[in-house]
Amino acid sequence: MHGWIDGQPATAVNLQNRGLAYGDGLFETIAVRAGHPALLEGHLGRLALGCQRLAIPVDIALVRDEVLRYARALDNGVAKLILTRGDSQRGYAPADGALSRRILQGTPAPGYPAGNGEHGVRLYPCSTRLAEQPRLAGLKHLNRLEQVLARAEWQDSEHAEGLMRDTSGRVIEGVYSNLFIVRDGVLQTACLSRCGVAGVMRAALLDLAPGLGIPVQIRDLSLSDLEKADEVFLCNSVYGVWPVRAFAASNWPPGSLTRRLQAVAQTLLDA
């Protein structure tokens, strides 16, 4: 499907776009099923927060309308929404009065193996570390070179995802997923105040878990915490939840709490 720029069909972006020159922008990856963009309000909320922190002007109502129209045209697949600070001449300082640009791209739904969700995945131990930058922590900004380097570390089909740590060695997330562990019935995930992406599915599960009687902790996680976990799983807003069955010498069967939240995630994507 053709892309859109600022609500109109387009096949090219201005060479002076700051997203291209500096990665000056944000993006959202949205599952689309039967013309419906899943978890749309979560995506828009994260986008609005990111724009506020980066001081990028945005009309969220306009973005919502464009995503809804684009999703209806796409019908099924994945819509990638990119919002940049706009166009400017050379130099880091943005031009006065520059208008943000809204880019939408559509692709077919990824063909992940069914076994990823059924039996779980093995994590690759990435050596690429996430830099600690609190001003960008949590944002899904366009600077993804750390993930590009991490994903290039493995080419085999044995590993479906990679584990990323920060420069201090804390366990943070997957290359394109958030990570949860379960210990003694408590759902735990990494604090993202220094680095990492605050995923939309992660936020949804954290919000819903207490109502399901599942206690939640957001804290710093170490490799030792991971190794001692009773259950481990990954999540994102495209595939939902994947159990983690192995990392290095550690192994876990898909657990009951993982299965409960996997069903919750699937319901959110199908809604």
Mean pLDDT by 10 residues, the chain (271 residues): 92 92 97 98 98 96 98 97 92 84 96 96 98 97 98 96 98 98 98 98 98 98 98 98 97 97 97 84
Residue 214: what residue type? Answer: I
Residue 233 structure tokens: 């799983």
Give 11's Cβ-side CA count (13 Å radius): 2
Residues 100 and 233 in one domain: no
This prediction has a pTM of 0.96
For the chain, what is the largest distance between any 2 Cα atoms, rounded to a whole number of angstroms?
55
Report d(CA 108, CA 122) in Å as an integer.
Answer: 25
Q: Among 224, 219, 211, which Cα is nearest to 261's?
A: 211
Is 122 found in the same domain as 57?
no
Residues 88 and 119 in one domain: no
Q: Are residues 142 and 242 in the same domain?
A: yes
Same domain membership, residue 221 and residue 92: no
Range of the domain at 190: 114-270
Out of 57, 92, 107, a domain closes at 107
Taking the C-alpha atoms of residue 129 and residue 162, their distance in angstroms, rounded to an integer, is 11
Quick one: 81 and 126 in the same domain?
no
Give bridge partners of residue 269 from the DSSP assignment.
none
One domain, residues 13 and 131: no
Q: How far is 252 from 98, CA to CA, in rounded Å?
A: 51
Domain finish residue from 107, 127, 154: 107
| CATH number, domain containing residue 186 | 3.20.10.10
Domain's final residue, options 107, 127, 146: 107
Q: Using the structure block, give the residue that is written with the tokens 């960008």.
A: 136
Number of domains in the chain: 2
Could you tell me if 96 and 133 lie in one domain? no
- Is there a single domain that holds both residue 86 and residue 48? yes
For residues 152 and 95, state if they share a domain.
no
Is the same domain home to 119 and 212? yes
Judge whether 105 and 3 are in contact, CB under 8 Å.
Answer: yes
120 and 246 both lie in a single domain: yes
**SS3 readout for the chain:** CCEEECCEEECCCCCCEHHHHHCCEEEEEEEEECCEECCHHHHHHHHHHHHHHHCCCCCHHHHHHHHHHHHHHHCCEEEEEEEECCECCCCCCCCCCCCCEEEEEEECCCCCCHHHHHCCEEEEECCCCECCCCCCCECCECCCHHHHHHHCCCCCCCEEEEEEEECCCCEEEECCCEEEEEECCEEEEECCCCCCECCHHHHHHHHHHHHHCCCEEEECECHHHHHCCCEEEEEECCCEEEEEEEECCEECCCCHHHHHHHHHHHHHHHC
Kindly report the CATH number assigned to the domain that includes residue 74.
3.30.470.10
